[in-house]
Structure 1
Amino acid sequence: MMRWYKTVIACGVIILAGCAVGPDYVRPNIDVNDEYAHSLAADRSAWVPATPLGQATDQWWQRFNDDQLAHWIQELFEHNQNLAQAEARYRQAQAALGQARAGLFPTLDMGASGQRAGSGQSAPTNQYNLNASVSWELDVWGRVRRSVEANQANLAASQADLAATRLSLASTFAQSYFQAKYVRAAQQLYDQTIAAYERSLAMNQQRLAVGMVSVADVAAAQSQLENARVQRLALDRQWGQLRNAMAVLLGRVPSHFALQADAVFSALPSVPVGLPVQLLLQRPDVAAAEQRMAAANAQIGVAKAAWLPNLSLSAQGGYRSGSWSDWISVPARFWSLGPALALSIFDGGARTARVNEAMAAYDAQAAAYKQTVLEAVREVEDALVQWHGLHKELTNQQRALDAARVSLQLTRNQYEAGLIDYLSVVQVETNALNAERAMLSLQSELFIAATKLMTALGGQW
């Protein structure tokens, strides 16, 4: 037995000293710049060091300083069903890793049986068995280790998928929330506008009665009022659709969800004017794509290990007897111990095909990783274009709104003085209303753009 013990120790040393077949994973180089094309002049003092994926604790939505939004996003994380699916897939990956690691250890089996048999004229006999067996496939060539490596990468990819799902759901909800604030502000604007139009219609009807205006002025006022009411009803429809979408994100039935969003926009969060491309390491979809590439790389080693012989050690022992009284006596004991070496000589090219398949799978994952990085850079560039562009639009829109308000006041004064007809007033009031609504829309779009930029950067900057 001492010789076998030394043999096992020697085999263990071989395993520890041996190298796993197949290529070791190396991250491929991707040619990206240190700056985004649409960022402003770099202000390095505004940069914040990126935290590796899995260690990020920044709750980006807190930057909006909106308690209602923060409360709902926390509820989303607790009850959203898409997130529950992603968490379940992560637990599946954990279990798969545990199964792969089990291949590094021996297996122990035990069995017991009893039977009574006879034939012809011979008397029946009893047979009782109690046995235990140990088997261990030595991972000399690293097949199991490569399998563990692949499952570890798949687990990391699943963790990144979970983070990506959380980020995407929170981003979608925040954008819907800011859209709801715009709709609420627009509803209030139209409520005030409709009230003013109703007063104008009543005034024109009174003037028509005394012959001060024509029927055309009353018709223009009536048409203006009804158009405003139609727009107000359209806003109610948008509000209902946003409520339904946000309710489902929170894991609720829409009829059990009361959408509460005021018309007040808080201050925009500050954004660094210079943003390093390295922050893309924060993006969970990039991390997931890389981990799947690493898993595919490890599978090449698993496939190549099939060309090499399998070395296993096994031991078996127990008791076998025809009567209970002699079951555990020395003559009834039996044991066996020995190594086994197995190697496939010919398989019709199956192993070669599996290696080629694994290499092709790696190439596909490598291409997917590079494409994910390119798409991530594009999303950040798009978000920066939108962010900077909306700021410029907001400045110009404010000038247009100020001018529209002045024009409206002057036009109303001219109408009161009898210098122009009401059709001229309607046109100016319509322009002013459109300017007011465009201003509200730009404010909402800026908050949505900030959300998209934070999301494109992986939830942190």
Structure 2
Amino acid sequence: MRRPKYLVLSVSLIALSSCAAVPVTDATLPTPDIAANWVATDSKTDQTPAGVQHGWLDDMNNGALTEFVDEVLANNPDFKATSFRLAAAGYTRDVTRGNRFPTLDASFDAQRQKTAGSSPENELSLGLDARWEADIWGKLAADRAGADAGFQATYQDLRAARLSLAAQVAQAWFDVVEAEAQLELSKQTVESYEQAVRVVSNRYERGLETGLDLRLITSSLEAERANASRQRDVLDSNKRKLEILAGRYPAAGIKTAGALPDQYEDIPLGLPMNLLEQRPDLRAAKARLLQAGYSQQSAEKDLLPSLSLTARTGNSSSTFSDLLKFDHVFWNLMGSITQPIFQGGKLRNAARAQQELFEAEKQVFAQTVLAAFQEVENALSAERSLKSRVKHTARAAENAVAARDVALDQYSRGLIKITVVLESQRQSLNQQSLLLSVKKQRINNRIALHLALGGDFTKDEDTQTLSDAGADAAQVSMAAEKTGTHLNEGNAL
């Protein structure tokens, strides 16, 4: 009567031992000390546990940009390559999961032989071979958990690549917008110089000025015409960059819409402690840390005994007709325990190597977390600086334009020298050009801040979060639709 109890106890112990222990938990992650609030900002009102802003691309109210981001996500070769790597990781995970099941192979053998003094004889055999390894130490479970973590890391890589690509496209879009504005400014400056040339020529023809003034202003005009040509090259180069991102031929023919924004809403920042779950690259780093831990567990368990069961059944005969009658069916069942004794230190050194790799991955994770916090703090600091720079540069540009007009008027009346006109023209161009550049830097920095905080460019909740258990089929299908790539939903289950 006690035997069934022992049997149940043995089965329970095997089941428990076949579970892989989690190498690190949220409580034991090698994270640095995290500040309670973001340091490089004066605002505390936007730092709440509610999280960061999603849908920042839609909030720009630029339909053409939104449509172009969708086009890039569907056609960008690098992003498609990442989605294919996700599919490969799914199949790799399925391979590892298959190790827990028995293997079954069918075989058919045929031979004909003859010995001296006898007639030729045929020997045919048909058999089935099965083998199963009991996971009594949890090695196979560790392999499966490691493969799951590797798949999760690749999936988070895809999410990170998606957010990064959208940010790159938006920044490149505003690079084009700024380049178009710089070209238009250069054209306006050429017109301003042409007006100044007419004023100087008029005074020269009337004998009021020397030829030196005319040569100086003409030189400035030609220099600005050359600058306009350079600005056109910059614009075409930026357009080609956009086209390449979308998988188009770089013909510099893309049309953009919109202007550099002047007004901005405050960005909800969330809290620093939330960054680990908000950013997909940090979730990928955590998954790779888990994968390294499971690999270390698996390598250590290679030193332990293994238990396997093998079974074979079949039939043999001298003719095909008798082979299928199963009159001579045979079978055998065998269990074996194998304990590594001496392999030249190969297994033990492999376990030590995996332990060192696990420790190295901890440092990689810690460095990745620090870099993420640095990106946010840098973007916050730049936002504060750029906001002030835009304000003061706008005032400088406004005064420089007014001074340019006054200087030309006073020169036409003989009140000032040509050098003052030239300096006012130069200041007007420089300050207006600098204002465009600073505005572009600010919008691009805000995009970088959204990316650093882990904010999604859409408000689609399915693209923003993943369960801790891993990506499900619907989320993998979403990624496939975004890239135009078919992914097997079974890989995510």
> What is the TM-score normalised by the length of structure 2?
0.85
In 1, the alpha carbon distance for the partners of 2:342 and 2:351 equals 15
Contact 2:18 2:140 in 1 (8 A): no
Shift of 1:167: 2.0
Instruction: List per-residue Cα deviations over 1:245-279 (Å, max 9, x = no partner).
Output: 22211112202x52223462245552336541134
1:129 aligns with 2:149: no
CA RMSD of aligned residues (A): 2.4
In 1, the alpha carbon distance for the partners of 2:408 and 2:203 equals 15
Contact 1:128 1:324 in 2 (8 A): yes
Aligned with 1:246 (options 237, 242, 262):
242
Shift of 1:303: 0.8
In 1, the alpha carbon distance for the partners of 2:315 and 2:328 equals 5
1:43 aligns with 2:45: yes
Contact 2:121 2:318 in 1 (8 A): yes
1:280 aligns with 2:293: no
Shifted more, 6-15 versus 280-289: the winner is: 6-15
Distance 1:69 1:7, change over 3 A: farther
Shift of 1:236: 1.1
Q: 1:362-377 residue pairs with structure 2 within 5 A? A: 362-377=358-373
Distance 1:453 1:146, change over 3 A: same
| SS in structure 2 at match of 1:332 | coil
Contact 1:20 1:142 in 2 (8 A): yes
Distance 1:268 1:138, change over 3 A: farther
Partner in structure 2 of residue 437 of structure 1:
433
Partner in structure 2 of residue 163 of structure 1:
159
1:456 aligns with 2:458: no
In 2, the alpha carbon distance for the partners of 1:8 and 1:152 equals 32
Contact 1:117 1:126 in 2 (8 A): yes
Instruction: List per-residue Cα deviations over 1:4-60 (Å, max 9, x = no partner).
Output: xx9999875443232546663323343111212102231058763369xxxxxx443
1:223 aligns with 2:219: yes
Partner in structure 2 of residue 55 of structure 1:
none
| SS in structure 2 at match of 1:433 | helix
| SS in structure 1 at match of 2:390 | helix
In 1, the alpha carbon distance for the partners of 2:338 and 2:153 equals 34
Letter in 1 for 2:364: A
Instruction: List per-residue Cα deviations over 1:146-196 (Å, max 9, x = no partner).
Output: 001111111111111112222222222211111111111111111122122
Contact 1:320 1:332 in 2 (8 A): yes
Shift of 1:330: 5.4
Letter in 1 for 2:438: L
Q: 1:58-137 residue pairs with structure 2 within 5 A? A: 58-137=54-133
Letter in 2 for 1:342: T
| SS in structure 2 at match of 1:340 | strand
Letter in 1 for 2:78: N
Letter in 2 for 1:200: A
Shifted more, 175-184 versus 17-26: the winner is: 17-26
Distance 1:95 1:254, change over 3 A: same
Partner in structure 2 of residue 3 of structure 1:
none
Letter in 1 for 2:272: V
Letter in 1 for 2:50: V
| SS in structure 2 at match of 1:183 | helix
1:264 aligns with 2:259: yes
Letter in 2 for 1:411: A
Shift of 1:103: 0.8
In 2, the alpha carbon distance for the partners of 1:430 and 1:340 equals 89
Distance 1:431 1:356, change over 3 A: same
In 2, the alpha carbon distance for the partners of 1:9 and 1:99 equals 30
Size of the alignment, in residue pairs? 449
In 1, the alpha carbon distance for the partners of 2:137 and 2:184 equals 72
Q: 1:27-426 residue pairs with structure 2 within 5 A? A: 27-44=29-46, 48-49=50-51, 58-255=54-251, 258-262=253-257, 264-266=259-261, 268-272=263-267, 275-281=270-276, 282-329=278-325, 331-426=327-422
1:18 aligns with 2:17: yes
Shift of 1:78: 0.8
Shift of 1:326: 2.9
Distance 1:8 1:210, change over 3 A: farther
> What is the TM-score normalised by the length of structure 1?
0.91
Distance 1:328 1:275, change over 3 A: closer
| SS in structure 2 at match of 1:49 | coil
Identity of aligned residues (%): 26
Contact 1:383 1:453 in 2 (8 A): yes
Letter in 2 for 1:71: E
Contact 1:47 1:272 in 2 (8 A): no
Letter in 2 for 1:174: A
Unaligned runs of 5+ in 2: 458-493
In 1, the alpha carbon distance for the partners of 2:373 and 2:326 equals 75
In 2, the alpha carbon distance for the partners of 1:419 and 1:399 equals 26
Contact 1:113 1:130 in 2 (8 A): yes
Distance 1:458 1:260, change over 3 A: same
Letter in 2 for 1:37: V
Shift of 1:329: 4.3
Distance 1:440 1:114, change over 3 A: same
Letter in 1 for 2:379: A
Shift of 1:141: 0.6
In 2, the alpha carbon distance for the partners of 1:323 and 1:19 equals 46
In 2, the alpha carbon distance for the partners of 1:216 and 1:348 equals 90
In 1, the alpha carbon distance for the partners of 2:58 and 2:95 equals 40
Contact 1:22 1:302 in 2 (8 A): no
In 2, the alpha carbon distance for the partners of 1:154 and 1:330 equals 47
Contact 1:40 1:273 in 2 (8 A): no
Instruction: List per-residue Cα deviations over 1:263-314 (Å, max 9, x = no partner).
Output: 6224555233654113422222211111111000001110111121111112
Contact 2:102 2:133 in 1 (8 A): yes
Contact 1:391 1:446 in 2 (8 A): yes
Contact 2:50 2:270 in 1 (8 A): no
